[in-house]
Chains A and B, each alone.
Chain A
Amino acid sequence: MQTKEKIKNVLVSLLKVKPEELKDGVSLEESIGVDSTEMVESVIALEKAFGVKLSPKEIAKSSSIDDIAKIINSKISV
């Protein structure tokens, strides 16, 4: 599965948002109005799903799906 699709699946099942609400190039804050607690939860869930370490500095409310995929891909390929 593509990284982006997998990220979306994680966020949809975790945050109970609709898949179509998540847009590749739009920040999570803008697309789904994510709050800070949801961000903490999302970082932990993505870490588990991809087996990588992520910090809240790398992934924030202002990150888009594209941004998150880029960071995760760079960690997977290391």
Chain B
Amino acid sequence: MERIAITGIGIVSPSGINKRQFWANIKAGRSFIKEITRFDASLYPSHIAGQIDELNKYSNISERLLKKIDTFSHMALIASELALQDAAIDIKNEDPNLVGIFLGNAIGGWLYAETELRDLYIEGREGVSPYMASAWFPAAPQGQVSIYYGIKGFSKTVVADRAGSLMALGYGAKVLNKNKLNMILAGGMEAPVSPYALLCCNTYGALSKNNSRPQEAYRPFDKKRDGFVIGEGAGIVVMESVERADKRGVKPLAYISGYGTTCDGIDRINCESSGKELARAIKLALVDAKANVDEIGYISLDGAAINLWDDSELQAIKNVFGTRAKDIPVSCPKSMFGNLLGASGAVDMIVAILAMEHNLVPVTLNLDEPGLKGFNYITEEAKEYKIDKALVISRGRGGINSVLVVEK
């Protein structure tokens, strides 16, 4: 495909809100996984998370709007504003019919929904806010961003478990390739730190139970891994054609040059053990980017910290990269702030872009002893590498594989 320019980054995460603060923490390898304090989660098998406590401090959203929306929409609004500011775009000057929104989400807005459902059973139907219907569902943030900025172009929300936001970015890039839109706000948002959402994540059985040592709990690819840790937040970028960015006199932060997606199609929960469909997605993305395996300077790993998922991911990399697999630096920086589920891929891509900008590969935390050897894991501290092209892998439950190639 034709390269698509990324000209603005908006990040709302446990590791920081705005990219400067975020990158400083990622670079330093700081963990933001803590015991959940928003509600009493002590009886849940996993009760640790990457939480955002001071969202209001970074927001200029009115009280009037905030009472109508869930936290995940609030996060998407803040991330969109940061991305637009970073891209130096005043949305008032855009043709609203030619601006689109492509976002990913996995579970919807349960902080809002839970309160209203409780009121339904306690007070009856009149106890339920009329905003419930438009606040909880996964496409609500897309709608709120659209209303807030008056955006009226072709837009989509992708629901594909943890792969949703990377798929939204790929989908958005494909739509821009057809020259049907001028620019797109793309990424994802997730707010799973609520009693019901946390329960669902727990029953999935994929979360770490190492509650006594929160900062050591999320250990992708490590021998002692026992699942991932959830996190909340949003990652949204501004995408536009290279010509348009040039015309605006803006130097792109990076380019999306290839996208590939496949499904394992074998199980409701698990992925396929050999990683062959993930390997196919990687190959599709590389072909799409007209890139060969020697050009990839960094691989951002999905890192679910579950034996089957981690091992099949590495098998797929070995399958595609062959003997080069042992040299390419690989890491899973989300081990620092948690797995943002439907927003994880977009945040991973943002980390990869910042890594390329600074020629610095951030670490995988807690990777003390790899389950599978033969890879260039970056651990302990961020390491300098010249990266021109990076691969970002994001996978969802049941074996959804999505892969993006980004370059500078």
Contact = CB atoms under 8 A, between A and B. Distances in A.
B134 A16 contact: no
A40 B68 CA distance: 13
B126 interface: yes
B130 A16 contact: no
Interface string A15-44: 111000000000000000000010011001
Contacts of B68: 37
Contact of A15 (B64, B129, B134): B64
A37 B62 contact: no
Interface residues of A, number: 7
B126 A16 contact: no
B131 A16 contact: no
Nearest to B65: A16
Contacts of A17: 64
A52 B373 CA distance: 73
Interface in B109-163: 126, 129-131, 134
B130 A41 contact: yes
A15 B64 CA distance: 6
B132 to A, nearest CB: 10
A44 B64 contact: no
Task: Give the size range of B's interface with the partner.
Answer: 10 to 19
Nearest to A41: B130
B62 A16 contact: yes
B135 to A, nearest CB: 10
Given A16-B64, A16-B67, A17-B64, A37 B134 contact: yes
B63 interface: yes
A41 B129 contact: yes
Interface in B297-334: none
Given A16-B67, A17-B64, A37 B131 contact: yes
Interface string B53-69: 00000000011101110
A62 B64 CA distance: 20
Contacts of A16: 62-64, 66-67
Contacts of A15: 64
Contacts of B134: 37
B61 to A, nearest CB: 11
Task: Report which residue of B67, B130, B134 has the largest number of chain A beta carbons within 10 angstroms of its beta carbon.
Answer: B130
Contacts of A37: 68, 130-131, 134
Contacts of B131: 37, 41
A58 to B, nearest CB: 17
Nearest to B132: A37
A32 to B, nearest CB: 9
9 contacts: A15-B64, A16-B62, A16-B66, A16-B67, A17-B64, A37-B68, A41-B129, A41-B130, A44-B126
Interface of B: 62-64, 66-68, 126, 129-131, 134
Which 5 A-B pairs have CB atoms at the shortest separation, nearest pair first? A16-B63, A16-B64, A40-B130, A37-B130, A41-B130
Given A16-B62, A37-B68, A37-B130, 10 more contacts: A15-B64, A16-B63, A16-B64, A16-B66, A16-B67, A37-B134, A40-B130, A41-B130, A41-B131, A44-B126
